[in-house]
Amino acid sequence: MASVLNSAFYLNSSNFKSIRVRTHSLVSPLSLPLTRRRLTIKAAETDANEVKPQAPTPDKAPVSGGAGGSSFNQLLGIKGAAQETNKWKIRLQLTKPVTWPPLIWGVVCGAAASGNFNWTLEDVAKSIACMLMSGPFLTGYTQTINDYYDREIDAINEPYRPIPSGAISENEVITQIWVLLLGGLGLAGLLDVWAGHDFPVVFYLALGGSLLSYIYSAPPLKLKQNGWIGNFALGASYISLPWWAGQALFGTLTPDIIVLTLLYSIAGLGIAIVNDFKSIEGDRALGLQSLPVAFGAETAKWICVGAIDITQLSVAGYLLEAGKPYYALALVGLIIPQVVFQFQYFLKDPVKYDVKYQASAQPFLVLGLLVTALATSH
């Protein structure tokens, strides 16, 4: 299972950043939108205040992302998707299934950290229900609401996408948002009852994550417009919230675990920055303060690797101080190859080698999360 989720994490991490304005896409509510689409230079130069984009009809979709696209990509909700007319396939595309696995992994880590998960039919069923809440329902809600609020930008940059192309109406999208949100919150409440909680902690985690997802994508706050806040929210969505849900379901969510996972979320911030480099020109044209725009590419790439490495080393130090030297040593062993790949790929050229870097380094970071979870369970 770990190997499958590691592979899925990489596939998704290359799309880790949902643009702050649609240029490419926590928690869900347990995850903030994670797919980023790059702005074209032509689109960046368009004055959105002067030109009201007209959503083209499906038969005018460009071949690069429409009729000539991949059906497999369509089902996963990633770039290069085929044009589709089946409403249920379109609804699935809006939820971006490719973004679900990292949240599922977070639930696994939380369950492991609780120290109370057993391979019984009931515990397995509980964990699957928690994964459904975090992935299809709440991440699906997050991705759908993100596409809804990016529909005008998509009409310029990716007019073949479901909403601007007219393949699905705005009223149908709004209905889907409510169904996924209420379904996720309802499932969270059922999990609290199933776990025998006096206080509905899973429900309130889902509710808080849902609110965070809304203000991430929707005006007036639209957190994704700010490099620091938006990226940290993404990092927390990948690591903290699903971990908390899994741990609360099987055990007790303690203050030290909350602090530890929020610290680990800084590494998630670094991962999010990786995807900012390929959109520098579009972000700058639209006045978006991504870290590469704010600090320059050279400084930003060191901020990125620093956030990833220093965070993990700090966690290793915490484990050592907590009397768990073998877990600390294992975590350091997983950090070393990440540093090697940073110098081999990312620091040389963060735009050219971003995919190679993430494919090489991210599995070690994901395994480090599990090592930390197992360490805290003893």
Task: Per residue of the chain (378 residues), give pLDDT as tens.
Answer: 444 444 444 445 544 444 344 433 434 455 554 444 443 434 444 444 444 444 444 444 443 445 455 666 656 655 666 677 889 999 999 999 988 888 899 999 999 999 999 999 999 999 999 999 999 999 999 999 989 998 887 787 678 889 999 999 999 999 999 999 999 999 999 999 999 999 999 999 999 999 999 998 898 888 877 778 888 887 788 789 999 999 999 999 988 899 899 988 899 888 888 878 877 876 787 677 888 988 999 999 999 999 999 999 999 999 999 999 999 999 999 999 999 999 999 999 998 998 899 889 989 998 999 999 999 987
Q: What is the CATH number for 264?
A: 1.20.120
- Asked if 221 and 365 sit in the same domain, the reply is no
- Overall size of the chain counted in residues: 378
* Nearest residue to 334 (alpha-carbon basis) of 375, 370, 367: 367
Contact 14, 132 (CB under 8 A): no
- Asked if 90 and 131 sit in the same domain, the reply is yes
- Asked if 172 and 241 sit in the same domain, the reply is yes
- Asked if 100 and 186 sit in the same domain, the reply is yes
In the DSSP assignment, the letter for residue 317 is: H
* pTM check: above 0.95: no
For residue 142, give every residue at least 6 positions away whose Cβ sits within 8 Å of its Cβ, in sequence order, or none: 26, 27, 28, 29, 31, 32, 33, 213, 216, 217
Q: Is the peptide bond before 219 cis (omega within 30 degrees of 0)?
A: no
- Asked if 284 and 312 sit in the same domain, the reply is yes
- Asked if 282 and 238 sit in the same domain, the reply is no
Torsion of CA 177, 178, 180, 185, to 10 degrees: 140
Rounded to 5 degrees, φ, ψ at 358 are -65, -40
* Nearest residue to 116 (alpha-carbon basis) of 104, 126, 128, 106: 126
- Asked if 97 and 189 sit in the same domain, the reply is yes
Contact 225, 217 (CB under 8 A): no
Output the CA–CA distances (angstroms, integers) from residue 255 to 212, 260, 262, in the order listed: 20, 9, 11
Question: Where in the sequence is the domain holding 151, given as residue range(s)?
Answer: 78-249
Domain count of the chain?
2
Cα–Cα distance for residue pair 3/330, rounded to 1 Å: 18
